Amino acid sequence: MPHTFQNLIETRVTTGHFDATRSIDDSAIRTMLRLATQAPSAFNLQNWHFIAVCTAEAKEQLCTLSFGQPQVKEAAVTFIVCGQLDGYRHLHETLQPSVEAALIPATLQERWSAMVNDLHRDNPQLQRDEAFRSASLAAMILMLAAQDQGFASGALSGFDATGVTETFGLGDHLVPVMLVTVGHPSGQPRPGKARKPIDAVLEYR
Ligand SMILES: Cc1cc2nc3c(=O)[nH]c(=O)nc-3n(C[C@H](O)[C@H](O)[C@H](O)COP(=O)(O)O)c2cc1C
Q: What confidence tens digit (pLDDT) does each residue in 142-176 have? A: 999 999 999 999 999 999 999 999 999 999 999 99
CB of 70 closer than 6 A to ligand 1?
no
The Cα–Cα gap between 117 and 114 comes to: 5
Ligand 1 within 6 A of CB of 186: no
Interval 91-125: pLDDT, tens: 999 999 999 999 999 999 999 999 999 999 999 99
Rounded-to-integer distance, Cα 138 and Cα 69, Å? 23
Q: State the pLDDT at residue 3.
A: 73
Where does the chain have alpha helices with state H? 5-11, 26-36, 56-65, 71-74, 91-100, 106-120, 124-148, 161-167, 198-201
**How far apart, in whole angstroms, are the C-alpha atoms of residue 170 and residue 162?**
10
Q: Which atom of ligand 1 is nearest to the CA of 158?
A: 8
Handedness of CA 15, 80, 30, 77 (dihedral sign): negative
Closest CA to 182 of 137, 132, 148: 148
Q: In this predicted structure, what is the pLDDT of residue 56?
A: 97
- The answer, yes or no, to whether any atom of ligand 1 lies below 6 A from the CB of 147, is no
Indicate the class that CATH gives domain 5-91+124-201: alpha beta
**pLDDT(20) > 70:** yes
CA of 14 relative to ligand 1 center, distance in Å: 6
Choose the residue to mutate in 12, 78, 156 for probing ligand 1, maximizing ligand atoms within 8 Å of C-beta: 156
178 in ligand 1 pocket by Cβ < 6 Å? yes
Residue 1: pLDDT over 60: no
